[in-house]
Amino acid sequence: MIDMGNVKTDTATLSSKYQILIPKKVREALELEAGQEFTFLVKGNLIQLVPKRDIRELEGIFEGTPIGEIRDRRDRL
């Protein structure tokens, strides 16, 4: 795997059955599991593969966010 700052790259080959093996280093880095589902995002010729996560994994991600700075609809133009 090539490390380019925040971007890590590796290669895989599309099989005759149109399948791609996710390299082991990528699976380990992202803690992917067999049977896990993914969402494909396509923009132009770019494909982004995003692991679907359980909604319970998102619990607490906004903890500590200052809500006093959130704009109200009245503040919008």
- Tell me, yes or no, whether 72 lies in a domain: no
- Tell me, yes or no, whether 73 lies in a domain: no
Give the model's pLDDT for residue 1: 57
User: Could you report the per-residue pLDDT of 7-47, keeping only the tens digit for each?
Assistant: 667 888 999 999 999 988 888 888 888 999 999 999 999 99
Residue 75 clears pLDDT 70, i.e. is over it: no
Q: Which of 41, 3, 44 is nearest to 25 (CA)?
A: 3
- Tell me, yes or no, whether 35 lies in a domain: yes
How many domains, in total, are found in the chain? 1
- Tell me, yes or no, whether 6 lies in a domain: yes
* pTM of this prediction exceeds 0.85: no
CB 26 within 8 A of CB 10: yes
* Chain length of the chain: 77
Q: Residue 9 is part of a domain; what is its CATH number? A: 2.10.260
Average pLDDT over residues 56-73: 73
Buried b (16+ CB within 10 A) or exposed e, 24-39: eebeeeeeeeeeeeee
Give the model's pLDDT for residue 3: 55
Domain membership of residue 33 as a residue range = 2-61
Alpha carbons 52 and 60: distance in angstroms, whole number: 18
- Tell me, yes or no, whether 25 lies in a domain: yes
- Tell me, yes or no, whether 12 lies in a domain: yes
